[in-house]
Structures are given as structure tokens and as C-alpha cells.
A and B are shown apart, each in its own frame.
Chain A
Amino acid sequence: MKIFKQALRLLMVPALIFTLAACAGNTQAQQSTGGSPTPDGAPAELTTLIYGSGDYSAINPALYEHGEINSLLFLGLTAHDKDNNVVPGLASEWTWDSEAMAYTFTLRDGLTFHDGAPLTSADVKFTFEAIMDEANGSENISNYEDIVSIDTPDGKTVVFTLSAPNAAMPDYLTMGILPKNLLEGKDIVEDDFNRNPVGAGPYKFVAWDMGQSITMEKFDEFCLGKPKIDRIIFKIVEDYNARALQLKSGELDLAQVTPKDAEEFKSKEDFDLYAMDTADYRGIMYNFGNAFWQENPGLPAAFSYAVDREAIVRSVLLGQGQTAYSPMQKSEYSNSNIEKYDYSPETAKIEIEALGWTMGADGYYQKDGKQLAFAISARPSDQVRVDMANICVQNLQDIGVNASVEINERTDWSGQQAFLVGWGSPFDPDDHTFKVFGTDKSANYSSYSNARVDELLTQARSRFDKAERLPLYEEFQAELAKDPAYTFIAYIDAMYVTRKGITGITADTVLGHHGVGIFWNVWEWSK
């Protein structure tokens, strides 16, 4: 009897805890479905979309190309439609004068920035001169290196004079335009503007709770159409697992999740799953600036045979991806008649031995007393890349290469031997190609240098006719395959999960690097 009473007393405690927890859980659910409290305490009648986003330290499309949020806050002269074709943005039309080698853009009437200031050609000129100013260290500078001068004969006209024809220029002019009067004379890299951005995009910046969330409100004067959703909040949730959990709990309305978590949402009634094709690929980037590759040329090609891409797509991507052999596989300029380095460990070994390596007693290749060993660096925040790196390492270890993975928070671009890299663009073939693979270009982090590749890319970007560009890009891909800069691994589908009822997402659009691009028509979305 005594024991029974004691047991009863003991049971009261957990029972109490559970009841309290259940009540707390209920109130939390009520709060999140009703719409999160706004910074200014406005009533929750506003439609709000909460997107699970990565973190930002500064928002400025001119300097930093990675940033989904840029497409909400800014607009460029041109824009892309759902098939990634170039369409008018801030500019209503443009012409190309091949004699003068100049593009003339005409801006629409009545354009304004979010703060009401008029958007004129002076702002356009300011934006591109800022990008082209080397002192600002923009990642995008190589895209615009053909621009000789920018003239503004009047407030609505911008003339870009080029040193050579550039077919990709209209694509590059989707760059968000910055307000001159807010940034002129200031240090663009350090200015507070990057924490209080003002643009001409469909949503205007309202508040930024560092590390927590960025709140934006619709911009009624948006030139391409009045947005329907009143407010969009980018909630900073870097961890992919957390995003899945928050989608379920209702704290997020939309987020990109890992293939593993996406499986969960396939069967759920309240959610829509978009498995979107992307031009986003991953690969092993070899740092040719590192002495190891300079002393031992030819290894990247050999290693490319050793990687089991199918297994990677099956295991890490759960089938949501495609094996990669070229940086422009998803483009109409793709060349499939090139060396794809299909998985063949035997060929890899033959190639390595052809370079003069012999198998040592420890099970690894060695040459002149040095072991064939190198490290692939990866950042811990992206588990997909870490897993891919681990699999590549296992593949290489199996054939006698002492490869290893090095996990570093910060990437040592100049010192590292290899890196699990990602790039990709669904737009003009020049995009993410010229600036990545061209010698000394602004996004060439591998110090890759191939004279023929430079020649081909430079020629290809200066032609307009697809019939002329196609053979050049085809040869470029063949050359790149012969002298690999990367060991291409796979293209990754972007898995977006959204709460049922949110419409406007175009499921067939091919997205870009990091799955960016889903917000291309956000002003047409409704909840």
C-alpha cells in the first residue's frame, strides 16, 4: 500500500509535466498559424509568407552573387522568365548597334526605388561602374569586362559601349540596380546600405533581426506587377533538418530541404513538394595553385575515372540528381560527345601508373619516395558536400590513392589542395563559365589556366548567333574534358516544400546554383 502511494506520487510529476507541455504546445501552434507578430505590431490580416533561408551578413547584388533575397529586393534592366529567357525588367526595350558596338537600353516611365526616389539612367551607370571598380572586389566583375563606357544621354536611356560583342550581356544585366544617391561617394563594401538595402524589386526591406529573420513588405509600385502577398519573411534557418521540422510545425511556409527530408513530405496532404531541376552541380575542384598539382600534372583526369557518380546520386541525393560530366549539361549548348570519365577504377589505376606512380608496400601509390596523397576540403555546414567528399575519398582509397577529407569552417582558397565545389547557371552559357574557367577571372578559385579554353570562351561570348556559338561551346567542353579543372560529380535537384495553398511557383523552371531562382515571379504568388 505504501509503495502504491509512493508510485502514485511519483507518477503525478510526469503527468503534471506532460499536461503543461501539451498546453504550451497548443498555444505555440495557435501563434504560428495565426501569422507571426510583425515588427510594428500590425494586425495579422496581412498575408505572410515565411521562407526558411540561409544566413546573410550583407545584401548587395553587385558585390555578392550568392543570394536568393536579391531577387526580391532588387530588379535589373532585364529579367528572366520561367524558361530562363531574357525579358524586359526595368528596361522596356533594348537595341544592339553592331557598328558602334553598343547596347542601348530604354527605361520604363515612372520608375522609383522603394524609398520613392526616381530610378534613372544615372543609377544604372552608378551600379555598373561600382561593379567594375576593382577596389570593390566584386565577384561579378569578369562578367562586365567588355564594357568600355556607360553613357546616359538622358534620364531614361543607357548606352553600354563594349570592346567586343557580348551575347551574354543581356543576361548579365539582370543585375539589381543600386540607388546612386544612397551610395555615391561611400565605401560600398562597408556601408550600412548592405544592412538596409533599397532597390526596385517587388518587395521592400523593412527590418533585419541579425541571425534571426529579414522582413520585407510588398512594393505596390513594382513595375512588373503589384505583388499579392503582403509580407515575406526570410527566417534564418541554416540547418536543413530544422527546416523540415519547422515546415511541419507551421513556422515555415516554404523551404528548400534535403532529398532525405523531402521523402517525408511526399505523402503529406498539407504540403506540396517541388523536385526542381537545376543547373547546380558539384565537383572536386583541384587547386592548381598548390604545389602538389604543379609537380604532378595529369592526375585530375585519372581521378575522374575513380569516382562512382551513380552511387553518389543514389545514396547522397536519393536519386534526386544526375551524374555530371560537363558544366553546362542542362543547357542547349551541352555536348555529350566528350569524355565523361565513366566509373572505371581499373582505368583510373592504369592512368595513374602511366604517370609514373607505382604501388607501394603500404597499399598506396608512390613516386620518388612521395606517397600519392591529398586532401579534399569541405565546409561542415553542407552535409551533402561532406558526404560526397567522403564517398570520393573512399573511391580513391580503394584504388590506392591516400585521399582524405578535411573539414574547415573557413576555406583556405590559396593553400588547399582540393575543394568540394559547386557552380551552375541556367542562363547564357557564358554565365558561370567564363568567370570560373577563364585564366585569372573573378570566380576562378582554382587557378585553372588553359589557353585554348580562354580562346574558345572569349570567342563564344562575342558571337550572337547560336549556330556560331554552339561549335565553340562544344569544343570548350571537349577541351575541358581533356584537361579537367574539376572532377564533375553530379547535378542536384532542388527540393522545395511549401504549405498547400501557396500558388505561383513554376515547377518546370530550371534553377541555378544553390537552387536559387524560385522567386523569379514572386509578385505573382499568392497564399
Chain B
Amino acid sequence: MDSTKKPLLSAAVLGGIILACALANILAPGNAARMDFDALLAPPSAVYIFGTDQLGRDLFKMIIHGGRVSIFIGLLASLIAALIAMVYGTAAGLAPKFIDDLLMRFTELIMSVPSILYVVTIQAVLGKPTALSLSVVIGATSWMSIAKIVRAEVRQIHSSEYILSARLMGAKFRYTLWRHLLPNFMPSIMFMLIYNVSQAIAAEATLSFLGLGMPPGSVTWGSLMSLSQDALLTNSWWVIIIPSLFLIITLVCMTNIGEYLRKLLAGGKR
């Protein structure tokens, strides 16, 4: 097996999905949840390429509009998690042992509780969820594993000569982080970052499926999961399979790309 084979297929497929979602308003303009009463539960056809659901909503339209929300939340949440993790991990890595221990134990404490619980609780406090608030909440509860790796990496290299010389020359925390540490621990966390995006998308899907995510009435991949579940007892395979297929393909592509990047960047180092 050639482990450095480029994930061209994954990149192409993922790129296609993201492009379609980004261009949702051009490809399928109008209200995503628009019902067509003359085409109830219509199988895929020329007019509705993925068919319609029980209330005549265009599945293709819902998938690409829903994808916008889900992918946006996934990316933003991951970004927030990455930022928190990098700062926290570096701080722990550079700190004296006692504080480092404290910070890491704290991290483990938070990790011990399933993150869904946090999300639900915080969201309940925040009130009506929006894409932004969900991103913040998911991001704020998924930085822990990345932080641990960052801290380990930082710990390892912070006693190297170039770091020492930088600090001797008066480099502040932010400069050290940005100029020296980040380029060095980035390869290690690359896979985790991309994996985090897919986790965040899955988290949003889970929440919306359970009715705890985006407000009822909004179209996201999670709400489409709900729709699929409702349709389980009908014979409409397109409602049951197609939405989950998109979610799975997106997550698999992301994982493939992350895996490739990890091998690529790690190859140079180890």
C-alpha cells in the first residue's frame, strides 16, 4: 500500500460537495423547505434529482442548503477549538510543572463528561440556538484532545536551542507561539484538526437530529437525518439513504485528507 498516495478522489468529492453547498443559492434558489404538493414523495427524476419527501420538499435543495449550515458550523467550531487548543496547549507546555499538571488535569476532567451534555446545557442557557452559538458551543467543548497534543509537542521542543535563544533575546509568548512553536506542532495536530471538523459536523447532525440543535424548521444535515428516520417505514429509499450518504461521504473524505496530510507532514519530521 502506497501510504503517500494523494487523496485526489476524496479532495475532488469533498470539493464538489463544498462548492455545491456554497453555491446553494444559485443552484437551487429560494426557500429550502418549500413544499410542492403535486410531487409528494416523488422518486428521483429530471425535475427533482434526488426526489422529494412526504411533504414535497426537494431533497437536493435541502441537502445543499443544509450542507451550508452544517459545514459552516463544522468549520467554525473546529477553528474555535483549534485556537483554544493552541493557546491552552502552548501555555501548559511552557508553564512550570505544577501549573502544567493543573491545566492538564482540568482538561481530563472536562473530557470525562460526554461533550453532548455540555452542548445541551450551555445551549439551554444561551436560549434559542443559532448557527453561530452552536459553533461556539461545539468548538468550546471539543478542543481538549488537540490541546493535549499541542502541550506534548511544545513540552518536547521548548527546551530546544532555538527556542531558548529566542526567549533569551526577549521573545514574548505570542511571538514564540506564532514563529517557532506553531510551525513545529502543526503537522502533529493537522490530522486532529481535520478530524475535528468532521466531528463538529457530526455533532451538529446529532443535535439537530435529536431536536437540540438548530431551531425546528431550519434545514441542516441533522434535520435531514430526522426526516430519514421518519421515512424508515415507507418505501422511499431516496429519503432514507441519500441524506446520510452525503454526510458519510463528507466525513470519510475529510478523514482521508486529514490522514494524508498527517503522513505527509509527519514524513518530513520523523
Residues of A within 8 A of B (CB): 241, 244, 260-261, 263-264, 308, 311, 314-316, 380, 386-387, 390-391, 394, 397, 405, 407
CA of A390 to CA of B55, assembled, Å: 10
Asked if B37 and A308 sit within 8 Å, CB to CB, the answer is yes
Question: Which residues on A sit within 8 Å (CB–CB) of B211?
Answer: 380
Q: Contact flags (1/0) for B31-61 with A, using CB distance below 8 Å?
A: 1011101001000000000000011100000
CB distance from A321 to the nearest CB of B (A): 15
Q: Does B215 contact A (CB under 8 A)?
A: yes
Q: Does B233 contact A (CB under 8 A)?
A: yes
CA of A136 to CA of B190, assembled, Å: 66
Pick the contact of A316: B33, B34, B55, B215 (CB < 8 A): B55
Question: Which residues on A sit within 8 Å (CB–CB) of B229?
Answer: 241
Q: Does B108 contact A (CB under 8 A)?
A: no
Question: Which residues on A sit within 8 Å (CB–CB) of B215?
Answer: 407
CA of A115 to CA of B234, assembled, Å: 47
CB distance from B28 to the nearest CB of A (A): 16
Pick the contact of A407: B35, B216, B230 (CB < 8 A): B216
Pick the contact of B233: A244, A308, A311, A391 (CB < 8 A): A244
Chain A residue nearest to B55 in the complex (CB): A315
Asked if B217 and A315 sit within 8 Å, CB to CB, the answer is no
Chain B residue nearest to A311 in the complex (CB): B37
Asked if B234 and A263 sit within 8 Å, CB to CB, the answer is yes
CA of A316 to CA of B211, assembled, Å: 20
Question: Which residues on A sit within 8 Å (CB–CB) of B234?
Answer: 260, 263-264
Question: Which residues on B sit within 8 Å (CB–CB) of A405?
Answer: 217
Chain A residue nearest to B216 in the complex (CB): A407
Asked if B230 and A241 sit within 8 Å, CB to CB, the answer is yes
Question: Which residues on B sit within 8 Å (CB–CB) of A390?
Answer: 33, 35, 55, 217
CA of A278 to CA of B233, assembled, Å: 25
CA of A314 to CA of B234, assembled, Å: 16
Question: Which residues on B sit within 8 Å (CB–CB) of A407?
Answer: 215-217
Chain B binding surface, main DSSP class: loop
Residues of B within 8 A of A (CB): 31, 33-35, 37, 40, 54-56, 211, 215-217, 229-230, 233-234
CA of A62 to CA of B173, assembled, Å: 72
CB distance from B232 to the nearest CB of A (A): 8
Question: Which residues on B sit within 8 Å (CB–CB) of A264?
Answer: 233-234
- Given contacts A263-B234, A407-B217, whether A314 and B37 have CB atoms under 8 Å apart is yes
Question: Which residues on A sit within 8 Å (CB–CB) of B34?
Answer: 394
Question: Which residues on A sit within 8 Å (CB–CB) of B56?
Answer: 315
CB distance from A247 to the nearest CB of B (A): 11
Question: Which residues on A sit within 8 Å (CB–CB) of B216?
Answer: 380, 386, 407
Sample of 16 A–B contacts (CB below 8 Å)? A241-B229, A260-B233, A260-B234, A264-B234, A308-B37, A311-B37, A314-B37, A315-B54, A315-B56, A386-B216, A391-B35, A391-B55, A394-B31, A397-B31, A405-B217, A407-B215
Chain B residue nearest to A394 in the complex (CB): B35
CA of A241 to CA of B35, assembled, Å: 22
Asked if A387 and B55 sit within 8 Å, CB to CB, the answer is yes
- Given contacts A390-B33, A394-B34, A407-B217, whether A315 and B40 have CB atoms under 8 Å apart is yes
Question: Which residues on A sit within 8 Å (CB–CB) of B37?
Answer: 308, 311, 314-315
CB distance from A2 to the nearest CB of B (A): 14
Chain A residue nearest to B40 in the complex (CB): A315
Asked if B40 and A314 sit within 8 Å, CB to CB, the answer is yes
CA of A263 to CA of B235, assembled, Å: 11
Question: Which residues on B sit within 8 Å (CB–CB) of A397?
Answer: 31
CA of A394 to CA of B211, assembled, Å: 22
CA of A386 to CA of B211, assembled, Å: 14
CB distance from B26 to the nearest CB of A (A): 20
CA of A136 to CA of B56, assembled, Å: 46
Chain B residue nearest to A261 in the complex (CB): B233
CB distance from B109 to the nearest CB of A (A): 32
Question: Which residues on B sit within 8 Å (CB–CB) of A260?
Answer: 54, 230, 233-234
CA of A380 to CA of B217, assembled, Å: 11
CB distance from A495 to the nearest CB of B (A): 13
Asked if A315 and B233 sit within 8 Å, CB to CB, the answer is no
CA of A405 to CA of B31, assembled, Å: 14
CA of A263 to CA of B234, assembled, Å: 8
CA of A263 to CA of B40, assembled, Å: 15
CA of A315 to CA of B37, assembled, Å: 7
CA of A386 to CA of B230, assembled, Å: 14
CA of A390 to CA of B31, assembled, Å: 12
Chain B residue nearest to A387 in the complex (CB): B55
CA of A189 to CA of B166, assembled, Å: 76
Question: Which residues on B sit within 8 Å (CB–CB) of A380?
Answer: 211, 216
CB distance from B204 to the nearest CB of A (A): 19
Question: Which residues on B sit within 8 Å (CB–CB) of A316?
Answer: 55
Asked if A315 and B230 sit within 8 Å, CB to CB, the answer is no
CA of A397 to CA of B30, assembled, Å: 12
CA of A241 to CA of B233, assembled, Å: 9
CB distance from A392 to the nearest CB of B (A): 11
CA of A316 to CA of B230, assembled, Å: 13
CA of A293 to CA of B217, assembled, Å: 25
CB distance from B208 to the nearest CB of A (A): 13
CB distance from A289 to the nearest CB of B (A): 25
7 tightest A-B CB contacts, nearest first: A311-B37, A407-B216, A264-B233, A315-B40, A315-B55, A315-B37, A394-B35
Beyond contacts A315-B54, A390-B33, A391-B55: 14 other A-B pairs, Cβ-Cβ < 8 A, are A241-B229, A260-B233, A263-B234, A264-B233, A264-B234, A308-B37, A315-B37, A315-B56, A316-B55, A380-B216, A390-B217, A394-B34, A405-B217, A407-B215
CA of A244 to CA of B230, assembled, Å: 11
Question: Which residues on A sit within 8 Å (CB–CB) of B33?
Answer: 390
Question: Which residues on A sit within 8 Å (CB–CB) of B233?
Answer: 241, 244, 260-261, 264
Question: Which residues on A sit within 8 Å (CB–CB) of B35?
Answer: 315, 390-391, 394
CA of A314 to CA of B38, assembled, Å: 9
Question: Which residues on B sit within 8 Å (CB–CB) of A314?
Answer: 37, 40
Question: Which residues on B sit within 8 Å (CB–CB) of A263?
Answer: 234
Chain A residue nearest to B53 in the complex (CB): A315
Chain A residue nearest to B233 in the complex (CB): A264
CA of A473 to CA of B215, assembled, Å: 43
Chain A residue nearest to B234 in the complex (CB): A260
CA of A241 to CA of B54, assembled, Å: 15
CA of A311 to CA of B33, assembled, Å: 16
